[in-house]
Amino acid sequence: MQSETPKKIFSSLLVIILDVNPAQDTLLSGEIKLSSILSSVVAFANSHLMLRTHNKVAVLASDPNSCDFIYSDQDELDFKKKTVSSCKMGGSQYELFSHIDRSIKFNIVKFLKDAAEEPHMSRDTVFGASCAKALCYINRLQSNLFPGETMNSRILIISGCDNEGDKYIRCMNTFFTAQKQNVAIDVCSLTHDVTLLKQACYITEGSYFRMPKLEGLLLYLQWIFLTEPSSRKKLVIPLAPQLDFRPFCFCHGTLTAIGFVCSLCLTIYCKISPICTTCEAVFKVRSAIAVKPKKKKIKTTTVNN
């Protein structure tokens, strides 16, 4: 691809996860069209590429049944194969930008057509799976770097879902992996406050932002999410939201401040129970309580004698 240079190369990879779930409130009510979200995303991706020559971008589309790349380095390879003249379309526009625009629009139509064939079983988008895919992609690019090249990566989730039903463990595993690999997860929520995604931002030190109104998506994206997480401290940016880390107990589903945790499977109960319902372990009563009656028995026998 590129000839090896002794110079140090810095690049930044941005993976955008776009929620195209048709059951989003914003899309159902017709307040904003998917096409306008898409054009903002494309413009945002282009402005990220403009910041540095070696910057890379990838886009994932995600809905309740599936998630897939709609722009990745495979599409970029297609671009490099083609001659420059065949790519030229929009007059003076940079060829790569028009290529990104076209391939994203082409792939998302394909994705939506495939998705329409399967009936949707639930309303929640699969963020766990899309983050996992994004991390796999980041991992591959990270391991294919040239010597002397360093790459920062981050993930941006754009969603209008009130998603609470995704699998908790899977999501948490991906968030912790992201944290371990220094991948920040940013979230731009269109309408609802989503606790799960807030936790993702908290864990990976990304930014969370809920749009106060739907107009000007591009403006908000460029204001908050265009800068690298490391330099965001110097900007005036909305504060991170307060988070409550008290868990919901398994038995009653209530918020608990003091809970009882199974030592084998870490299930949280709000009251002591003799058997764990998840792993079927029988809890032993503390020996301190069990020993007492024994002592009494011995005493009584001695008295009788």
Partner 1 sequence: MDETEVKEYRWEGGYEKTWEEVKEDEVGNVEWSVKEIIEKSKRLLATRQPNVRLGMMRHLFVIVDSSNSMVEKDLKPTRQLCTYKLLQDFIQDYFDQNPISQLGLITTRNSSAERISELSGNRKYHLEELKKTFGDFNYCNGLMSVQNSLEIALSVMKMLPSHTSKEILIIGSSLSSCDPGEINTTIEMLKTNNIRVSMIHLAAEVRMFRHLCNETKGKHNVIVDDVHFKHILWSLVEPVPLPNSVDASCVKMGFPQELEQKPPFTTCSCHLAEGGKLNAKGFFCPQCNSKYCELPVECKCCGLILVSSLHLARSLHHLVPIKPFIKIELEEGSSAYCYGCRKRIKVPAENVYFCESCKKHYCDGCDIYVHNTLHVCPGCAVKRDEKR
- From the CB of 170, what's the least distance to partner 1, in Å? 5
Determine the interface stretch with partner 1 among 83-91, 119-127, 225-233, 289-297 (rule: CB under 8 A).
119-127
Q: What does the longest C-alpha to C-alpha distance in the chain come to?
A: 110
Q: Up-side HSE of residue 66: CA atoms within 13 Å toward CB?
A: 14
Determine the interface stretch with partner 1 among 3-11, 139-147, 183-191, 227-235 (rule: CB under 8 A).
139-147
Binding status of residue 246 toward partner 1 by CB under 8 A: yes
Binding status of residue 284 toward partner 1 by CB under 8 A: yes
**Binds partner 1 (CB under 8 A): choice among 5, 35, 36, 122:** 122
Per-residue interface string for the shown chain with partner 1, residues 44-83, x marking contact by CB under 8 A: ---------------------xxx-x--xxx---------
**Binds partner 1 (CB under 8 A): choice among 265, 277, 290, 297:** 265
b (16+ CB within 10 A) / e for 169-189:
eebeebbeebbeeebbbbbbb
**Binds partner 1 (CB under 8 A): choice among 163, 189, 199, 204:** 199
**Binds partner 1 (CB under 8 A): choice among 258, 289, 298, 303:** 258
**Binds partner 1 (CB under 8 A): choice among 79, 94, 223, 283:** 283
Nearest to 158 by CA among 299, 24, 295, 284: 24
**Cβ proximity of 185 and 194 under 8 Å:** no
Could you give the CA distance from residue 52 to residue 55 in angstroms, rounded to a whole number?
A: 5
Cα 59 to Cα 7, 68, 102, 104, 209: the distances in Å are 29, 9, 13, 8, 19
Binding status of residue 40 toward partner 1 by CB under 8 A: no
Binding status of residue 303 toward partner 1 by CB under 8 A: no
Count of chain residues binding partner 1 (CB under 8 A): 62
Could you give the CA distance from residue 65 to residue 124 in angstroms, rounded to a whole number?
A: 9
Backbone angles phi, psi at 38, to 5 degrees: -60, -40
- From the CB of 1, what's the least distance to partner 1, in Å? 15
**Binds partner 1 (CB under 8 A): choice among 17, 37, 194, 262:** 262
Determine the interface stretch with partner 1 among 3-11, 21-29, 211-219, 261-269 (rule: CB under 8 A).
261-269
Binding status of residue 247 toward partner 1 by CB under 8 A: yes
183: Cβ–Cβ under 8 A, 6 or more apart, which residues? 135, 138, 153, 154, 155, 204
| HEC profile of 120-154 | CCCCCCCHHHHHHHHHHHHHHHHHCCCCCEEEEEE
Binding status of residue 154 toward partner 1 by CB under 8 A: no
Q: How does DSSP classify residue 277? A: T
| Residue (69 or 209) nearer to partner 1, CB | 69
Chain centroid to Cα 137, Å, comes to 14
- Cα angle, residue 245 at apex, residues 244 and 251 outer, rounded to 5°: 110
Binding status of residue 230 toward partner 1 by CB under 8 A: no
Binding status of residue 125 toward partner 1 by CB under 8 A: no
**Cβ proximity of 127 and 196 under 8 Å:** yes
Binding site for partner 1 (CB under 8 A): 65-67, 69, 72-74, 121-122, 126, 128-129, 132-133, 135-137, 139-140, 143, 167-170, 172-174, 176-177, 180-181, 199, 203, 242-247, 256-266, 268-269, 272-273, 276, 279, 281-284, 286-287
